[in-house]
Chains A and B, each alone.
Chain A
Amino acid sequence: MQDALVIAGREFSSRLFLGTGKFPSNAALKAAIESSGTEMVTVALRRIDVTADEDILDAVDPDRVLLLTNTSGADDAEEAVRLARLARSGGYPTWIKLEITPEPRYLLPDGVETLKAAEILCAEGFTVLPYVNADPVLCKRLEEVGCATVMPLGSWIGSNQGLRTKAALEIIIEQSFVPVVVDAGIGAPSQAAEAMEMGAGAVLVNTAIGTAGDPAAMADAFRMAVVAGRQAVLAGLPGVGRAAEASSPLTGFLS
């Protein structure tokens, strides 16, 4: 596969990951999954109810996309580890999006608890993708305990504010040996393209697609933006602001 994204030995041709919250219906979610071209879809374990008449998993075809269960709702390491183990014992994939958000208003991740849980889950053989603040040191620590990616936030989840943590994201991308997935806050395709142009391995988008007037069309727009941003990196983005350098105004007298 050309320019595949590799996470824990598995190849992904799409660099757009999709969250499943806030969609108006299962049908809308299913259509968005289709048109996004995504190969990884994250679902909150707490939302799954396979005995119900209609379940969120009805929209997700596990043969086509990797089902990444997440620990949304966990407020500490102990609860996140419990949820991950429940998922494994239920036969769900052992890829876990680790979300520990003790504060329900901004859903900001708790780095201390996330590191604790990541250490336990990595040791137990889970493939762990942790959602974290854009904290370069924390990202290195998570990489060291065996996380398959790091998923720093661009801005507060659901805020559509874009890459407000850009300066920190640049450091994380520069330092990381695992793929960096920019997660949360990406509110428009241009912001997804921006993250990709910075060198992110992938982006995860939910609110901007799930709450759009036409989620499937918005998913397609994000698909194109992510492809464009990635292609720009591969093509070799010209540096910014170098046009004036050729004239050497300060050293021209030397020639």
Chain B
Amino acid sequence: MTVTPVALDSRPDGVPAHSAAADFLATDLSGPRALATTATDVDVDRALRSGRRSLADLGALLSPAAAGRLEEMAELAHAASVRRFGRVVRLFAPLYLSNQCVSTCTYCGFSAGNMIARRTLSPAEVAAEARTLTGRGFRHLLLVAGEHARIVSKDYLVDCVSALAADVPSISLETQVWDTATYTRLVDAGCEGLVVYQEVYDRDTYAAVHLKGKKRNYDWRLAAPDRAAEAGMRSLSLGALLGLDPDWRSDVIALAAHASALLRRWWRCEVAVSLPRMRPAAGDFEPVRPVTDREYVQILCALRLALPDVGITLSTRESPAFRDAAFKLGVTQMSAGSQTEPGGYAEPGAAEPQFEVSDTRSPSEVAAALRAAGYDPVWKDTIGARVTDAIPMSQRRP
């Protein structure tokens, strides 16, 4: 594919031709969205029986008509998930680098206007946090930071990734979005995954919640996974923050369409989705339309059935009871023991968290719960691009 290189500082509106972002914007979602409200039992039947489900089928599965058939959907979603992924859930931990942020996003605890304790870890402090996490079993870390191009700069992020790459097999990144050249540097340093949530796909709602800062540019953010994929990032994770759009069905359909477009355009990449529900955070933002547990289960099932190859992440925003029950419906990856403030693993409470976690169990408790449910918690399934020595077989524990 040819993507027109875009200088970071220019950041024009619009997305490059031949990108998944362009494919997504060209997709007519009106049919699936209509079905999401008007689908009949017949539409739901067809969607449930279909071998390869379309976005229209997804619409039907998200509809009120399908809500009455949740158990049926759950059985199919569970079976599809076991066949495709096995009784296996990957575990990862977020590692917050910085809560510095110049953007004003109404829903986020790090938002520039919030008077909170701000902190940015040095690469050495990041390595110390990583050691704490690898000591708890983690081999996959997600580096998270607010948007501050001077303090959380490209060079800083490359330094952080480099500091970890020899010891942490799988490193993903969730920060402000960058240009292709920066993503290339991060990949070269050992980063293999990009997490970038569009937050909300409806443009008007997007503009209403992103008041100030670079994040206001919808298109630049939408095409970030394309730039990362072009740079060689192996894994792309998308997300929508449930509670921002009053019409959650519409948002979920858009998320699925974006994921589908990425799968098609970037056939070498793994694609995953995440649908965090709004949690209390500094700034006291109230969700416009909270998604209920029943609705959330319907979303998980519908996505698993419509996108059988796409990973689904379930975070510690959800309660232990909910996570223990819902993960079987198609979840492939879970965070555990998360601290959402920088430095929180070594020294909890020293800075403001991004949001309050709901599942406060330790990683080993979450792993034990998975085992008790007959699932294998997988900590490591990547060698690491910068690893030069395999751990000798002779070092196996007796």
Contacts of B375 in A (CB 8 A): 24
Confirm or deny: A57 has a beta carbon within 8 angstroms of a beta carbon on chain B: yes
Q: Hey, what's the 0/1 contact readout for A179-210 against B, CB within 8 Å counting as 1?
A: 00000000000000000000000000001001
Confirm or deny: A211 has a beta carbon within 8 angstroms of a beta carbon on chain B: yes
State A171–B278 Cα separation when bound (angstroms): 57
State A73–B99 Cα separation when bound (angstroms): 34
Q: Hey, what's the 0/1 contact readout for A14-34 against B, CB within 8 Å counting as 1?
A: 000000011111100000000
Distance of B88 from chain A, by nearest CB (Å): 6
Most buried by B among A25, A87, A210: A25
Contacts of A48 in B (CB 8 A): 390-391
Contacts of B88 in A (CB 8 A): 21-24
State A158–B270 Cα separation when bound (angstroms): 17
Q: Hey, what's the 0/1 contact readout for A46-85 against B, CB within 8 Å counting as 1?
A: 1111111101010000000000000001010000000100
State A50–B87 Cα separation when bound (angstroms): 21
Q: Which of A100-108, A127-135, A223-231, A246-254 lies at the interface? A: A100-108
Distance of B289 from chain A, by nearest CB (Å): 33
State A208–B381 Cα separation when bound (angstroms): 21
- Determine whether the beta carbon of B86 is less than 8 Å from that of A50: no
Contacts of A26 in B (CB 8 A): 376
Number of interface residues of A (CB under 8 A): 36
Closest to B391 in A: A50
Confirm or deny: B5 has a beta carbon within 8 angstroms of a beta carbon on chain A: no
- Given contacts A104-B309, A158-B84, A211-B82, whether A86 and B382 have CB atoms under 8 Å apart is no
Q: Which label, helix, strand, loop or mixed, suits the secondary structure of the A interface?
A: loop
Q: Which of B237-245, B261-269, B315-323 lies at the interface? A: B261-269
- Determine whether the beta carbon of B268 is less than 8 Å from that of A103: yes
Residues B345-398 near A (CB distance < 8 A)? 371, 374-376, 378-383, 387-397
Contacts of B123 in A (CB 8 A): none
Confirm or deny: B203 has a beta carbon within 8 angstroms of a beta carbon on chain A: no
- Determine whether the beta carbon of B87 is less than 8 Å from that of A211: yes
Selected contact of A24 from candidates B87, B268, B379, B382, CB within 8 Å: B87
Confirm or deny: B83 has a beta carbon within 8 angstroms of a beta carbon on chain A: yes
State A50–B378 Cα separation when bound (angstroms): 13
The contact size tier of chain B is: 35 or more
Contacts of A89 in B (CB 8 A): 389-390
- Determine whether the beta carbon of A73 is less than 8 Å from that of B371: no
- Determine whether the beta carbon of A86 is less than 8 Å from that of B389: yes
Closest to B389 in A: A89
Contacts of B234 in A (CB 8 A): 75
- Given contacts A46-B380, A49-B380, whether A90 and B268 have CB atoms under 8 Å apart is no
- Determine whether the beta carbon of B379 is less than 8 Å from that of A49: yes
- Determine whether the beta carbon of B86 is less than 8 Å from that of A207: yes
- Determine whether the beta carbon of B376 is less than 8 Å from that of A103: no
State A75–B371 Cα separation when bound (angstroms): 31
Distance of B397 from chain A, by nearest CB (Å): 7
Confirm or deny: A232 has a beta carbon within 8 angstroms of a beta carbon on chain B: no
Selected contact of A52 from candidates B270, B309, B380, CB within 8 Å: B380
Confirm or deny: A91 has a beta carbon within 8 angstroms of a beta carbon on chain B: yes
Selected contact of B86 from candidates A45, A52, A57, A211, CB within 8 Å: A211
Distance of A39 from chain B, by nearest CB (Å): 19
Closest to B79 in A: A211
- Determine whether the beta carbon of A57 is less than 8 Å from that of B376: no
- Determine whether the beta carbon of A24 is less than 8 Å from that of B309: no
- Determine whether the beta carbon of A22 is less than 8 Å from that of B267: no
Contacts of B86 in A (CB 8 A): 21-24, 207, 210-211
Confirm or deny: A92 has a beta carbon within 8 angstroms of a beta carbon on chain B: yes
Contacts of B379 in A (CB 8 A): 49, 52
- Given contacts A22-B85, A211-B82, whether A47 and B392 have CB atoms under 8 Å apart is no
Selected contact of A46 from candidates B270, B382, B393, B395, CB within 8 Å: B382
Confirm or deny: B139 has a beta carbon within 8 angstroms of a beta carbon on chain A: yes
- Given contacts A22-B85, A207-B86, whether A44 and B381 have CB atoms under 8 Å apart is yes
Contacts of A75 in B (CB 8 A): 234, 268
The 11 sampled A-B contact pairs (Cβ below 8 Å) are A25-B376, A26-B376, A47-B380, A49-B379, A73-B381, A90-B389, A102-B267, A102-B268, A158-B83, A160-B83, A211-B83
5 extra A-B contacts, CB within 8 A, seeds A46-B381, A89-B390: A52-B139, A91-B394, A158-B84, A160-B83, A210-B86
